[in-house]
Structure 1
Amino acid sequence: KSGSGKGTQAALLMDYLKQNDSRQIFNIETGKEFRNFINQTTYTARSAKDILDVGGRQPDFLAINIWGKILMDNLEDNEHIIGDGFPRSRLEAEVLDTAFKFYKRAKPIIIYMNVENESVIDRLVKRGRADDKEDAIKNRLKFYADDVLPAIEYYRNNPGYTFLDINGEPAIKMIHKDLISKLESEWASQ
């Protein structure tokens, strides 16, 4: 969910992994990738910018193409994969599932930052990024409810994944502590 603190927690998790695990980290931040993409002058980029400007959800084909190409061009064996902000639909989740199987990633861990809409609105207004306008925020929350929640439920109910539900409301350090505690518990049981 936009404004849930997922980017902050992803950065803290990467710092933790760098200090505690010898494996490399492969990070995909789809929001950043889309913001870079819309700076191009192609028809597709201009169309994607129009969607971004009103807080709409990018079409599945475009999102899958962006993160799929990043995986194909850059992923190495045995790296941690940290995906920030995707998948954003059930279809994307199902396609990502095929990628995990292709890359032989057994039982990936899905981390869900659970934050109330009121907190999200407050955080995004304070963040003040160009696409954090009130109407755009409301549109993002609507597509979250309509499109992202089915992807979350796909992972929550799929025995091929470990699903960690993290309360994203407390202070940043408390959230990180809870996240690391749940991850360490999961790793210890493997």
Structure 2
Amino acid sequence: MEPDPGRQHSDDGQWWWDGQRWLPALSLDGRWRFDGRAWRRNSQWREPSRAVLITGGIWAAALALWAPVLMMVLPAPSGVLDTGEETVLIAVFVVVVLLATVATGFAVGLATQLRWLWLASVVGAGAQMVGYVASMVLSDAPSADDFAAVGSIMLTGPVLLGITALLWAGAGLGRLATAIRRRMVRRTPLA
């Protein structure tokens, strides 16, 4: 199938028509793009896929909601955790949020440019801090408002660093999986 006259690239920009056949318009690593005359550095920002946006939205909501939900599920605080069940419940929530953060980084690493991780880090830290303040407001403690204010000031930096580290760890695993998949595809003989 030949393209419309005057068009050299496919609709998705991944292929280039040389007059006889379709050729890849992007290098294997996605850093170079053929414009019809020469290979040029591909610095174009690509939008994240719909799957990454949905995953990221669910992740941000989970970061914002896990602490307030935990505050509603746990009984009124008595100063210390009364049973091992409460400790296990808190640990489960924390592990799920940590794994969800790594999984979000993995999805970004698989599907899109890693530049988006910086924005995801800020969004994630903001969502986490909103959840923290909400959980302090829901708390029955007499000085919860003070804890919310002081905690939001003192915890924002460490939370941002932690979320950034987890996202980049997941993205590194995603890029590694992409590289392994590409290597396997290149080794597979065509039938």
TM-score normalized by structure 1?
0.31
Q: Whose strand fraction is larger, Structure 1's or Structure 2's?
A: 1
* Higher radius of gyration, 1 or 2: 2
Bigger relative contact order (CA 8 A; separation at least 6): 1
